Chain A
Amino acid sequence: MAEGGVQEPFARAARQREAERLGMLIFLASEVMLFGGIFAAALALRLEHPAGYVDAAHHLKLWLGTANTGVLLTSSLCAALAVQAARNGQARWAACALWGAVALGTVFLAIKGVEYAGEYREGLMPGMATTHFEGRTQQLFMNLYFIGTGLHAVHVTFGLALLAAAALNRGARQDRHAMLIGNVALYWHLVDVIWVFLYPTLYLAGVR
């Protein structure tokens, strides 16, 4: 006889949790490799054109990037607190923490939008009519910036949908093994880890 909430073919929730966690971690490893290509490209560009890379990165808005790092780290804290609350049987707290993470994630996207708008006005967005780059290195850097942060923003958007779905799911909130909330939180933390490395690669590199 299976416990409540446990799905086939698992007999025990602990076993199902272990299997789900392992599958999620393997998926996250594939995400690390997806972004790995972008980091390798940034490394190649920086080694080939060290001075041009720094000049190109200097045009990014360091303080907006820094604020976004803080916002995303705090959002991760909310997700971690949600897992803990669900495990302690505090379903209401779990929902509050999840909505907190969603709110901060939305703030992150809003700040990113402000940044993109600024870059569009300054003619730094690739492929636009008003685009004007100082040179080949800046063009390559801005391409990399938009691919890297754009792909990351897509992941943030998916993460927000997953967090909201978990917050709305009564079964997930009341699950003392925090299976669904735990897996969603893992995804959200990885999106955070990726940003932690995008930040020095793109923003901090521009401080002269």
Chain B
Amino acid sequence: MSGAVRLLLVWAALMALLALTVGAAFLPIGMAKPWVAYAIATAKAILILWFFMEMRRESGLARLAAIAGFVWLAILIMLTATDYLTRRWIM
């Protein structure tokens, strides 16, 4: 497959995911809504990182550098959630 065609297909997939996430926001799925929205956002980010940012061609070291920020962010988000979700338990 030619490189440009592959990039165009990835772009089409990103647009489809955008349509999907807007559609899902209007579904009556209640508490699941943010989970669906962030799952689709993560899928988009993976597509951008893997194909547009060419992580599929990079060495392990470059991939590690690219993912490092997200790993630390995950720790930040998890500890913040742990704090705010459990505050009411002790009050």
Asked whether, in the complex, the Cβ of B84 is within 8 Å of the Cβ of A33, the reply is no
Which residues on B sit within 8 Å (CB–CB) of A192?
Answer: 48, 52
The smallest C-beta distance from B41 to any residue of chain A, in angstroms, reads 5
B76 with A28: CB separation less than 8 A: no
Structural contact, B49 and A193, CB atoms closer than 8 A: yes
How many residues of chain B have a CB within 8 Å of chain A? 45
Q: Do B69 and A196 touch (CB < 8 A)?
A: no
Q: Is A139 an interface residue (CB 8 A)?
A: no
Interfacial chain B residues near A79, Cβ < 8 Å: 52
| A47 contact set on B, CB distance < 8 A | 81, 84-85
Q: Are A77 and B8 in contact (CB under 8 A)?
A: yes
Docked pose: A185 CA to B33 CA in angstroms: 32
Give min CB distance, B3 to chain A, whole Å: 5
Within 49-84 of B, Cβ neighbours of A (below 8 Å) are at 49, 51-54, 58-59, 61-62, 65-66, 68-70, 72-73, 76-77, 80-81, 83-84
Residues of B within 8 A of A (CB): 3-4, 7-8, 10-11, 14-15, 18, 21-22, 25-26, 33-34, 37-38, 40-41, 44-45, 48-49, 51-54, 58-59, 61-62, 65-66, 68-70, 72-73, 76-77, 80-81, 83-85
Contact status B70-A32, CB under 8 Å: yes
Shortest beta-carbon distance from A82 to chain B in Å = 10
